[in-house]
Amino acid sequence: MLALALNTVSLRHAELGQMGAAVAAAEESVGIVRDLVRANALVFELDLAAVLADLSGYLWRLGRRAQSFQHNTEAEEVFGR
């Protein structure tokens, strides 16, 4: 629940144009969901893909293209499974 709440916080920051804060919250969310995936990939992998996709968008808007592509590629791999 904390990871999804952090992702929601990141979305709200992005809506307000606060991209740095959006990235920070999304990165925290990704870290938590990665831990959950290690415990149970079947249940949490799609959540990981979703937060990675959001983080990718924020990074793109900040001009951090290489990081954005990296996270987006990982999200696409997960969605593809």
pLDDT of residue 27: 98
State the DSSP H helix or E strand holding residue 21, giving kind and residue range, or none if neither.
Answer: helix 19-39
pLDDT in tens, 50-80: 999 999 999 999 999 999 999 999 999 999 9
Asked if CATH classification 1.25.40.10 holds for the domain at 2-80, the reply, yes or no, is yes
Q: Contacts by 12-20 with C-beta closer than 8 Å and gap 24+?
A: 14/54, 14/57, 14/58, 14/61, 19/58, 19/61, 19/62, 20/62
In the predicted structure, residue 14 carries a pLDDT above the cut 90: yes
- Total-model pTM: 0.91
CA distances for 16 relative to 12, 42, 57, angstroms: 6, 33, 14
Contact 56, 12 (CB under 8 A): no
